[in-house]
Amino acid sequence: GKLFSSGGYPSNAFDGSVTTTIALGNPGCYFGVDLGLHSRALLHEVRIYPDYNEAHRIVNGKIEGSVDGVNYITIGSVGSREQEGWNSVHISGIAAQNLVANASTIPFRFLRFAGHSTSSCHLAELEFLGYTVAAETDRARFNGAGVSCNITVATSEPSVS
């Protein structure tokens, strides 16, 4: 996958080390991963490790997904009482102000963390947990059968397990 951001070094959030960070101080910041033309992800959880002593900076941050890299929908929210260390956001149920009935069933190509208008992007690690599936345009190659496997995006390249 290809990493992207509104600035900084997004690879720091996917390198497996809580000692390297991405620190984007502006509200509206974002960073994430493009899984590529032929891959999509069905998420069930996102794990976030804030920058040391900076958990307050991710309050109300959003987990967003997109199929085209332009139009994003909120599929999870960090919340208002985050802690130092690992925080989990479960992806299911109603998200994006009732625009998405069940966000865990939508295959996204682009996944990102986005700071809220009152928060920023100070993270040490970000993990997207779920399954990869073939892109809709590729399903004909598999005779219409869905193809899926576990995915953990925690490094600069998505790893499939």
Residue 111 has pLDDT above 60, yes or no: yes
Average pLDDT over residues 56-66: 87
Question: pLDDT tens-digit profile of 9-56?
Answer: 889 999 999 999 888 878 789 999 999 998 888 888 899 998 888 888
Residue 161 has pLDDT above 80, yes or no: no
**Best CA proximity match to 89, nearest among 51, 56, 126, 40:** 126
Q: Which two tokens stand for residue 51?
A: 């920058």
Residue 143 has pLDDT above 50, yes or no: no
> pLDDT: is 101 or 114 the higher one?
114
Q: Quick check: 27 and 133 in contact, CB under 8 A?
A: no
Among 4-8, 23-27, 58-62, which is the least confidently predicted range?
23-27
According to the per-residue pLDDT averaged within each range, which of 23-27, 63-67, 99-103, 117-121 is highest?
63-67
Report the pLDDT value the prediction gives residue 104, as an integer from 0 to 100. 60
Residue 150 has pLDDT above 70, yes or no: no
Answer yes or no: pTM beyond 0.75.
yes
Separation of first and last alpha carbons in the chain: 15
Q: Which two tokens stand for residue 32?
A: 């994430």
